[in-house]
Structure 1
Amino acid sequence: MRLRPFVLVVALVAALVPGVAGPARAAVANSWGFALVTDPTVASWTTLDTTRQWGSWKTTAPDLWAEGGKVSTGVFQVRFPRIGSSSLGIAHVTPVNSAGHYCAVIQWYEVTPDQIVLVQCRAPGGVLTDTAFSVMWTYRVSYAPTATTYAYLHYRDQENRVVHSHSSLQGMVLAGRSSTGTYQVRLYRVGAAAIPAGNVQVTAVQRQAVPRRCKVTNWMFEGTDILAEVTCYDQQGRVTWSDFTLSYHRGRSVTASLGTPQNFGYFHHWRYDANHNSVTGVGGNTISTVTPGRFTVRYPQLGVEQTHAQVVAEGPGPNYCNLAQPWTHVGTDAELDVICFDNAGNPVGSRIMAAFTSRT
């Protein structure tokens, strides 16, 4: 499938990063955290599920845990301790809900020394509704010319530019609006030559806190570049503008870390090399249909220690995908219960991209 021409509006990644890192940031370089909010009604600051959270702060503050609390109906804040990095990095969120709720990130910011991620969730039709969700945040400042790669960006529609980005190979990260609500992304040199390998995740970002969700319409490779088309929708299923985050990882965890975690996997419906398990290898994960629009994705031997999952829909139209319930460990395997919806919140078939990681 051919993607539409790019509107090139983003600067070289290497020019972006030095301006945001300095001596005060040195202790939080290459930071990340993930968490699961199972009860979106708890007061701030309640410790979140300790079996499904971890982060880079654990190396220096092992007794601390991610915390969270309800701000207002449908709005929840998560605090990752000791890894504050202003508005840098990116955040992803996946609803954990079987009734078609969807979530977006409002913003992320530092309250020294912690990192706060603010999330809004809505029911079909756009009404703010308390909803469980999984959330992650990562910030990279180092580069590593290895066989595994990672790149991310935070795109702001009003300015038609990427406001922060990173590429593990210091390649360019480009994005631009091709039409209202449709965006083209190009990540230079992070793909595998002539193979559609790796995993893409996308999350809507809405500082105005209006109903939005974004998805991957399509992605492909061109040489070793990754090309992706992102489309965003409002509560009526109409294509409309939105800020968003996008990340790509190949041969490493969705957290972007080059070392730990080393137990991770990602899955795509029909691209063999985009089905990867760090323990069992390429093609090592499986999917089965439970009912129309509902799937079980199984990651063999990855259900160890604290774990995390993100899911996004791929394809045309306003369909979107969630986790129907928190993922489970079956022996040493991990199982994701994925469910996809049409704009009205009815289950419907969809291609999916799912990312899973352990803390180790």
Structure 2
Amino acid sequence: MHMKFLTVLRGWGARTLGALVTLVLTAGMVALVPSTAYAAASRGFAYVWANQASAPLNTPYTPASSYSRNSTGGVNTVVRTGVGQYTVRLPRLGLLGGTVHVTAYGATSHSCNVAYWLPVGDRLDVHVRCFTPSGFRADTRFTASFVNTAYLGGRFGYVWANQPTSGAYTPSATYQFNSAGATNTITRSSVGQYAVRLPAIGSAAGHVQATAYGDVAARCKVVNWYPSGTAQIANVRCFSLGGALRDTRFTLTYTRSTGILRITPAAYAWANQPISAAYSPATAYQYNSSGSTNRITRHGVGLYRFHTPNMPLGYGNVQVTAYGADSKHCKVDYWTPSTGIQVRCFTAAGAPTDTYYDVSFVR
């Protein structure tokens, strides 16, 4: 059975199967949907910095409170279930839907994926997998964020791209959102190459994050995004950890003038000058909810700092995705109020390299 299905059964425990009314089959995902809602918030968001890479197995810990938040007021926890395998537990957010992004944290060239997420009772469990460039699972710190929203207005959308070999399809309605109330679609042009279409929220501006999905040694990144008529097109490429294009599921979020969790304080930028010593990113593709202008400085090959004036960088969550058509990848190294957000970028083999990237902060 698929792991999502097993997780749901474990979470319901003694609940009677008579309460089940729908069997959902979506691109390999099998989940049973209960006839009544969980005792959970209808919508919400959460984030964590999973700061204990080698925590004792199967022993929950509470991550640093300054870098962990749950819109319901619940206390998030993290469990290490094996080498490079983690479960982020988000109390009172246990509903189907929403989207997740994950970024590896630290100075190594490791990367992390979201493996899957599902409700367990009134809790949402987000499963994460982390790898070395050679494809071996590895213990590492990471950041993770989750949002499930129904608020219309503005320019915001997300998808779970759940059919990696389909030529054209509508991704899971449960795991997609469009702030104009429209239906997002995806087309595949070739192996590992996808275009996400978000109708009615097109703009030559904004921000995109992408994360590979599944217990697979893969990475996904943003190639570009642009308006097409009134729609927003976001192109994505996915690669094996060795750098070859491969078909892979992924999550993607597009936002303009708000954070990727639809909250503020928030800041983002498209880092579009990879060899410049210091610059302000393109105005249309940067945002700072305080009204300040963000800046980026380069401190070595593939080593950058994102400076976000008046943002509370002693707190919050950071997500990073590389930008461009090649197999380079990026991650967050650390962030502090005095240094800003430090980002590192690597070749597929793990060598530092200069490249474009997208970086996002929310508090």
Q: Is this contact kept in 1: 2:302–2:345, CA < 8 A?
A: yes
Q: Is this contact kept in 1: 2:100–2:145, CA < 8 A?
A: yes
Q: Is this contact kept in 1: 2:116–2:126, CA < 8 A?
A: yes
Match of 1:216 in 2: 222
Q: Select 2:289's aligned residue among 268, 274, 278.
A: 278
Q: Is this contact kept in 1: 2:202–2:233, CA < 8 A?
A: no
Deviation at 1:143, TM superposition (A): 3.4
Q: Is this contact kept in 1: 2:160–2:252, CA < 8 A?
A: yes
Q: Is this contact kept in 2: 1:40–1:76, CA < 8 A?
A: no
Deviation at 1:27, TM superposition (A): 4.8
SS at match of 1:51: helix
Q: Select 1:197's aligned residue among 190, 202, 205.
A: 205
Higher relative contact order (CA 8 A, sep 6+): 1
Deviation at 1:21, TM superposition (A): 11
Q: Select 1:50's aligned residue among 55, 65, 68.
A: 65
Q: Deviations over 1:34-85 (max 9, x none)?
A: 0001112224311011110112112xxxxx4110111100111110111111
Where do residues 19-58 of structure 1 align in structure 2 (5 Å cutoff)? Answer: 24=37, 27-43=40-56, 44-58=59-73
Q: Unpaired segments of 5 or more residues in structure 1?
A: 1-19, 59-63
SS at match of 1:24: coil
Q: Select 2:342's aligned residue among 334, 337, 345.
A: 337
Deviation at 1:132, TM superposition (A): 0.6
Q: Is this contact kept in 2: 1:327–1:335, CA < 8 A?
A: yes
Q: Deviations over 1:196-215 (max 9, x none)?
A: 21110000001xx2201100
Where do residues 47-196 of structure 1 align in structure 2 (5 Å cutoff)? Answer: 47-58=62-73, 64-86=74-96, 88-140=97-149, 142-145=150-153, 148-158=154-164, 160=166, 161=169, 162-163=171-172, 164-192=175-203, 196=204
2:253 is equivalent to residue 247 of structure 1 = yes
Note closer, same or farther for the CA distance 1:29–1:343 as it changes in structure 2 (3 Å cut): same
Q: Is this contact kept in 1: 2:165–2:188, CA < 8 A?
A: no
Deviation at 1:304, TM superposition (A): 5.8
Q: Select 1:327's aligned residue among 335, 341, 362.
A: 335
Q: Is this contact kept in 2: 1:153–1:173, CA < 8 A?
A: yes
Match of 2:18 in 1: none
Match of 1:5 in 2: none
Deviation at 1:221, TM superposition (A): 1.9
Which has the larger displacement, 218-227 or 342-351?
218-227
Query: Which whole-Å CA distance do the structure 2 matches of 1:236 and 1:319 have between them?
Result: 10
Instruction: Give, as a single letter, the amino acid of the residue that structure 2 aligns with 1:136.
Output: S
Q: Deviations over 1:127-148 (max 9, x none)?
A: 11001100011112x2323xx3
Deviation at 1:176, TM superposition (A): 2.0
Count the aligned residue pairs.
Answer: 315
Q: Unpaired segments of 5 or more residues in structure 2?
A: 1-32, 273-281
Deviation at 1:29, TM superposition (A): 2.2
Match of 1:228 in 2: 234
Question: Percent identity over the alignment?
Answer: 27
Q: Deviations over 1:267-320 (max 9, x none)?
A: 112432111111125xx1100000011100011111167311101000011100
Q: Deviations over 1:96-154 (max 9, x none)?
A: 022210111110011111111110001111111001100011112x2323xx3210000
Note closer, same or farther for the CA distance 1:237–1:33 as it changes in structure 2 (3 Å cut): same
Q: Is this contact kept in 2: 1:143–1:169, CA < 8 A?
A: no
Normalization by structure 1: what TM-score?
A: 0.83
Query: Which whole-Å CA distance do the structure 2 matches of 1:292 and 1:276 have between them?
Result: 25
Note closer, same or farther for the CA distance 1:124–1:310 as it changes in structure 2 (3 Å cut): same
